[in-house]
Chain A
């Protein structure tokens, strides 16, 4: 494949309170793939994307986005955090949350205007939430909340999307809607990295996969490396039990 490398991670090591979480991760993600990060609980999946995004400071290693340090390429990157990471009782509406996606390009102090509002409405429409735009966020279902989060990332109009367990606690309709949008993004040449839990859907949803358990076990096209061998290496001998749990 002669594609460009979208994300390059070198020797990334992270420790929480000096407890090892990620060790010496090398990772190169080519442009235009839809990649799942899989691994057992506590394998450091969320930590990996958080440290790529600079939310967690690694103790060693470096991250490059399109061959430049992440700090210089922030605008190329969008992030969808875990749904549970925020307080959904916060007094704000769906459209307000989506508008937050435009704050990064606005920079300090400048307020969003008509242009930003239009972008936010478009994003809401894309995720099928336009009719809920003025709904208070606590009155949305889990799936709808996740869609609002996705819309917020879409508004950023980035080249690379990081998503932390977007399918957790959402209904089947939302899951399909989200994966269709992700596939659309891939078609448009964007790179999408998803922390994923459900091993059964990996071959159906994704074309690229990274196995992670504190160390990187394997990374590559799903059709080449999504096999028993790697699953066993990641999840241990009883991985099937883990899968069906």
Chain B
């Protein structure tokens, strides 16, 4: 199947429509909640939680024997929350640092999950097919019911986000201050964390344990580069998430043998890379351009200041001076002289230059600014 075929089929074919809708919704919720994780410097918590969810899935399967994905996700939620609290407990009660705590929970829970999964596989009549999908995610296994669940959770998340928008923003920016205003910071904190865990658990089936954290981080990290407003950032992260989901699904559906998770993550990574380089305000490209321009401006201003030094010794500021006398100064080239004329700061006549009143004022401002700084 080619990409164009995919987009023709996506509106008519039940399976394609379901998985595309599923990954799109997932992208949206992950992007939005990921913004919170990124801004709270909890980027890697997502990684730990997603790995910690694995034993929950296995245990839920062992207890119920059911393949019903909702029950498995409930198990994942429980063990994800457990992991989160253990991480917090470790950081506050022992001298282990957050990176060690995250790494421990991540690897130990995952290892235990693997033990359980392989144990389940060896059970004689265990209909275990489908548990592996939680490792890398298999969007193709999404059914309408899963998408409904995602839509409901995303809807609930949106409602909570809108209701507590002010409180979330306040806590993210300045937690101590939030406390002094009389808000229960613990409640807001638990609310945010709970929804992040929920989003991760929802994504496990589609993107998988291993790559889930990128789904959370990448859209948010990309969105951050384009705006300085929290609300815009969250909406944008949601949009990036949707696009990553849809494009990722499209690409993986058109190729044989490709899990959805890695493709979605790579699409999101492309968004991040593009944003890092080309964002106008923060991007590396424009930063470099601005840097060069500043350096050029600095050179110009330096020359102008030297001219000011010469001119201000005379009564008549527009008196012409020989270009030759500038040769002794640093930072002077014919080119800069041309630029200065372009800006209407000086006039050049033959081998002589004279300062315009506009140039004189500019130079005076510069001079005063410098004195202020000293």
Contacts and interface: CB of A to CB of B under 8 A. Distances in A.
Contacts of B227: 91
A87 interface: yes
B229 A91 contact: yes
B170 A90 contact: no
A130 interface: no
B107 to A, nearest CB: 28
| Max count, chain B CB within 10 A of own CB: residue among A79, A81, A91 | A91
Given A91-B224, A103-B166, A109-B163, A79 B183 contact: no
Interface in B208-229: 224, 227-229
B180 A79 contact: yes
Interface stretch (A7-15, A26-34, A49-57): A49-57
Contacts of B112: none
B230 to A, nearest CB: 5
Given A50-B176, A74-B180, A92 B167 contact: no
Interface in B173-195: 173-174, 176-177, 179-183
A111 interface: yes
Contacts of B233: 91
A86 B40 CA distance: 11
A97 B172 CA distance: 12
A170 interface: no
B163 A87 contact: no
A54 B183 CA distance: 12
How big is chain A's contact interface, by range? 20 to 34
Contacts of A42: none
Contacts of B177: 79, 81, 100
B174 A86 contact: yes
Given A77-B180, A104-B181, A136-B228, A90 B166 contact: no
A85 interface: yes
B164 A90 contact: no
Contacts of B39: 87, 90-91
Interface in A134-161: 136, 138
Contact of B183 (A53, A81, A90, A108): A108
Contacts of A50: 176
Contact of B173 (A75, A77, A87, A104): A87
B287 interface: no
Contact of B174 (A85, A93, A110): A85
A103 B166 CA distance: 8
Contacts of A55: 176, 179-180
A112 interface: yes
Contacts of B167: 103, 108-109
Nearest to B230: A91
Contacts of B174: 81, 85-86, 100
B173 A90 contact: yes
A103 B115 CA distance: 50
B169 interface: yes
Nearest to B372: A173
B322 to A, nearest CB: 41
Nearest to B185: A55
Contacts of A81: 174, 176-177
Contact of B170 (A53, A100, A111): A100
B181 A74 contact: yes
B45 to A, nearest CB: 17
B179 A54 contact: yes
B282 to A, nearest CB: 10
A39 B165 CA distance: 40
Contacts of A86: 173-174
A74 B177 CA distance: 12
Interface string B13-52: 0000000000000000000000000010100000000000
A242 interface: no
A69 to B, nearest CB: 13
Nearest to A172: B372
Nearest 10 A-B pairs (CB), nearest first?
Answer: A104-B181, A136-B228, A79-B180, A74-B182, A53-B180, A86-B174, A55-B176, A91-B228, A91-B230, A91-B233
27 contacts: A50-B176, A54-B180, A55-B176, A55-B180, A74-B181, A79-B177, A79-B180, A81-B174, A81-B176, A85-B176, A87-B173, A91-B39, A91-B229, A91-B233, A92-B169, A92-B230, A93-B228, A93-B229, A100-B177, A103-B166, A103-B170, A103-B181, A104-B181, A104-B182, A106-B166, A109-B166, A111-B165
Given A91-B229, A92-B228, 11 more contacts: A77-B180, A85-B174, A87-B39, A87-B173, A91-B39, A92-B169, A103-B170, A104-B183, A109-B163, A110-B166, A138-B228
Interface of B: 39, 41, 163-167, 169-170, 172-174, 176-177, 179-183, 224, 227-230, 232-233
